[in-house]
Amino acid sequence: MTDVTLGYMKPWLIRGLGLTLVHVLVRVLLGAALVQWPLQGSVLRWGGLLVVLFAALIWGGIDGIRDRRANPDPDRGADLTMLWLKAGAVTGLLGGFLTWLVDTVTAIPVGVKSLFFELTSGAAFTVLLVFLPAMFAVTVGRFLVRREQAKPVEQSAAEPAPVGAAVGADRAWSSDDSPTEVFPAVDPQRDGRA
């Protein structure tokens, strides 16, 4: 695909297809590895699970950082919840179908139960496997950018201005010696109130 084609694709579809590729590759490599090292099954499964989790975490974190930098106001940010839910649905359904297809067509034992299972329970698990870490990473990414943006404001408020800076700024603003007070000072003796 060229850059022109990717420009017209929906962002959730790009994420869904990318994570589908990661998911299917992990399951195919896991099936091949389990044939070679059957006693290491639990370690290999956890490793495969972590690869899929990290892919969703990293991509979600990048989305959260980009969104907060583009939209500093939290009310104007993109709806990344629906984006990642759709991406998770694509990953779950398409990933389940493709792993079933790989298991059916090739000799690699991917560990597929049935097509029905892969498109229902397996897909639901995959949706959660993508959606939850991605949303966690989006939240953390937005938080880190908000902290980064708030830091210069806190530093400028905490640092006192140099003594001569206020006088010099006042002179630069007002070149003549005209009075700058808005209301005249109240003098009780002059007004006859004392």
* pTM attached to this predicted model: 0.69
Question: How many alpha carbons lie under 13 Å from residue 50 in its C-beta half-sphere?
Answer: 6
Lowest pLDDT segment from 1-10, 87-96, 98-107: 1-10
pLDDT tier, 157 (very low <50, low <70, confident <90, very high otherwise): low
Residue 177: band (very low, low, confident or very high) from pLDDT cuts 50, 70, 90: low
Q: What is the pLDDT of residue 180?
A: 64
pLDDT at 66: 92
Sign of dihedral through CA atoms 83, 65, 27, 7?
positive
**In this model, does residue 37 exceed pLDDT 70?**
yes
pLDDT of residue 46: 94
Buried b or exposed e, range 86-103, using 16+ CB within 10 angstroms: bbbbbbbbbbbbbbbebb
For 176, the 3-state DSSP assignment is coil
Q: What is the pLDDT of residue 153?
A: 56
Rounded Cα distance, 158 and 77, in Å: 29
Domain residues of the chain, as ranges? 3-158
Tell me what the mean pLDDT of segment 147-157 comes to: 67
Whole-number mean pLDDT of the chain?
82
Q: Report the pLDDT value the prediction gives residue 74, as an integer from 0 to 100.
A: 75
Question: What's the pLDDT score for residue 2?
Answer: 45
Residue 145, pLDDT > 80, answer: yes
Q: Which pLDDT score is estimated for 169?
A: 47
